[in-house]
Structure 1
């Protein structure tokens, strides 16, 4: 009897959910990350096949947990919404994020950003946005073959995948949805919600007041009819 050699047991590979790095280095960077991520969630709320995430580790290669990066924001078209502890590409129909954003802080080094550019270029990102909120500088890179090439004119640039428009002013970067609405901070969104609630309440009160006035008019008319009938006059005869 020939003995078969025992099968080699593949070691279990752990893909950590965190790289130990903070999501942001300061409040300004954090505010921009949250604003862009949440507005993209709102923009694609009705499309179940668009996954948006912030500071989520992306593992593009199965079997190698050292090749990874956590974009500040990433968007994947063709993958369902839902919670994930990390984005393991081989479990996602091998779809790489098509769009990524990085929001710079003073702690970012040239070497770090060069490394991220090479990573995104190597693993299939189609659009790469880098925004420095301190310098109010936006860089846009778009895939051309195997490369991510810089877009020369970024002011007024419209994202091919997202449909959003970028407008630089002296004070800030403004981002506009395809319908022309501006990306808003959570505080601005809540303020609009309150204003809409107040407007709806005012409309309800005005409608109720109009109905009360109409009912009062109807009662006055009915009282007049009854008064005429008490005098023996039928309104139809007038």
Structure 2
């Protein structure tokens, strides 16, 4: 009697890329990078907050077709570190709680509806869409098994992130909890340059004042006056 052999099922592969571009244009890309970088900066001192951009999320073990790659997402309770993809079963069952999508002209209503349904199904607590061309933002918050629309994003504060959305002069802005605006890398570099220039100017003024004081002290000594006694 011959032995019956079985072939173990092939291991499921979870690709790290969906083959789609990060962004369709430079404005969308700048917003994605700015959001991701500033939120990372906001939580730089917390080891239990993972922030990623254009990164695939797989919610179901064994299923490599159910997936999404949000433009930016935040997972509380998960350690920082590099990942090829975010596999929920390897992350203690924690699905990212906050998701951002930055719209581009190529986005379609059906596509965005599918994304929204995906995030609602798997547990996103806060979902934001930003349209940098129209300077608008929309947000929804979890309410049981469904999403509840944020009625007015102007002045709205994210419950989990503490960041605020503003519309100033017809333009959408995102601000840190302390009121500082989210800045692009170029804007951050300009701020650093301005700060460094102010510091150099202060040093030059201090040095000029020191030299002036030394000249005055020398003149007093020439007149027979002890400058330390004046």
| Distance of 1:148 and 1:35 partners within structure 2 | 26
In the alignment, structure 1 residue 64 sits paired with structure 2 residue 63: yes
Displacement of 1:43 = 1.4
C-alpha distance 4-144 of structure 1, shift in aligned 2 (>3 A): farther
Q: Report 1:71-110 matches (<5 A).
A: 71-110=70-109
| Distance of 1:60 and 1:47 partners within structure 2 | 24
Displacement of 1:224 = 4.8
User: Could you tell me which residue of structure 2 aligns to residue 184 of structure 1?
Assistant: 183
RMSD between superposed Cα atoms in Å: 2.3
Write out per-residue CA displacement over residues 186-213 of structure 1, whole angstroms, 9 at most, x where no aligned residue: 2211111100010111112222222323
Displacement of 1:44 = 1.4
Q: Which sections of structure 1, spanning at least 5 residues, go unmatched?
A: 229-235
Other structure's SS at 2:147 match:
strand
TM-score normalised by the chain length of structure 1: 0.87
TM-score normalised by the chain length of structure 2: 0.90
Displacement of 1:217 = 3.7
User: Could you tell me which residue of structure 1 aligns to residue 117 of structure 2?
Assistant: 118
Compare 166-175 and 143-152 and name the one that shifted more.
166-175
User: Could you tell me which residue of structure 2 aligns to residue 214 of structure 1?
Assistant: 213
| Distance of 1:40 and 1:17 partners within structure 2 | 23
C-alpha distance 224-80 of structure 1, shift in aligned 2 (>3 A): farther
| Distance of 1:34 and 1:224 partners within structure 2 | 65
In the alignment, structure 1 residue 146 sits paired with structure 2 residue 145: yes
Other structure's SS at 1:80 match:
coil
Displacement of 1:136 = 2.5
| Distance of 1:199 and 1:150 partners within structure 2 | 45
